[in-house]
């Protein structure tokens, strides 16, 4: 079982220590599962808050160690909104912190996805990445949501949306330019694996993305770190 830090909503006494939540590495990261609509601070020292909720992402990637301020513990998390480095602070008592041993790496130049568990590469997949005019954005992101699709449709068997957004397209296909890992079917099969022809998304064979969802677990995908190089 993965380590978990339980928390309860409501009034809480002042804390004198925070849970040990190290920065994400290739061997381990932390997911902050949202228990409901949660107030967050864009800056730790500010009282003004924004609201984040599980509809945007069931869990958010924790970006660094927990910090104690005014008797409360906070963690900084990656948001699913623009810009791509958007982050905010949430109280640890308002989320469920769980460790994850999984990490996904997208190598644009190699046109390859590497899946790591405990820091070790367990699978490699050839993929289609963004075209030169609509590149897959670089950075440290996280999985936001996962939606099952139809294998023969353009997006294939699964659409695994990331917190990343296109650096070029503000809107795409009726959405906000969100980047995803997704399968292949229909017209998307015309672009061979190992090519750079997408609008920024990363396309995998249906068997590959199906393996990814099953192996990590659809309920545990959100908050999994995804690094694009």
Q: Is 213 helix (H, G, I), strand (E, B) or coil?
A: helix
* Chain centroid, CA 125 distance in Å: 19
Is 201 among the residues known to form the active site? yes
CB atoms within 10 A of CB 152: 13
Is 182 among the residues known to form the active site? yes
Per-residue HEC secondary structure of 19-58 comes to CCCCCCCCCCEEEEEECCCEEEECCCCCCCCEEECCCCCC
**200: alpha, beta or left? (left if phi > 0; alpha if psi -120 to 50):** left
* Given 18, 73, 165, 201, the catalytic residue: 201
Task: Cite the active site residues.
Answer: 182, 201
């Amino acid at each position: 079982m993965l380590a978990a830090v339980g928390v309860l909503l409501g009034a809480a006494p002042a804390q004198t220590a925070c849970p040990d939540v190290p920065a994400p590495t290739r061997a381990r990261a932390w997911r902050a599962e949202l228990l409901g609509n949660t107030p967050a601070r864009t800056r730790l020292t500010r009282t003004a808050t924004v609201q984040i909720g599980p509809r945007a992402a069931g869990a958010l990637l924790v970006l660094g160690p927990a910090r104690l301020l005014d008797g409360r513990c906070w963690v900084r998390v990656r948001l699913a909104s623009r810009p791509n480095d958007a982050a905010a602070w949430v109280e640890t008592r308002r989320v469920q912190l769980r460790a994850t041993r999984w990490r996904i790496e997208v190598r644009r130049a190699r046109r390859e996805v590497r899946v790591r568990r405990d820091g070790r590469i367990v699978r490699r997949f050839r993929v289609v990445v963004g075209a030169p005019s609509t590149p897959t954005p670089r950075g440290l992101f996280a999985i936001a949501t996962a939606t099952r699709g139809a294998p023969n449709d353009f997006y294939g068997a699964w659409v695994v949306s990331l917190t990343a957004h296109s650096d070029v397209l503000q809107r795409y296909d009726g959405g906000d330019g969100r980047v995803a890992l997704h399968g292949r079917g229909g017209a998307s099969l015309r672009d061979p694996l190992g090519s750079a022809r997408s609008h920024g998304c990363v396309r995998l064979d249906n068997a590959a993305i199906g393996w990814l969802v099953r192996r990590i677990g659809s309920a545990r995908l959100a908050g999994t770190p995804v690094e694009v190089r």
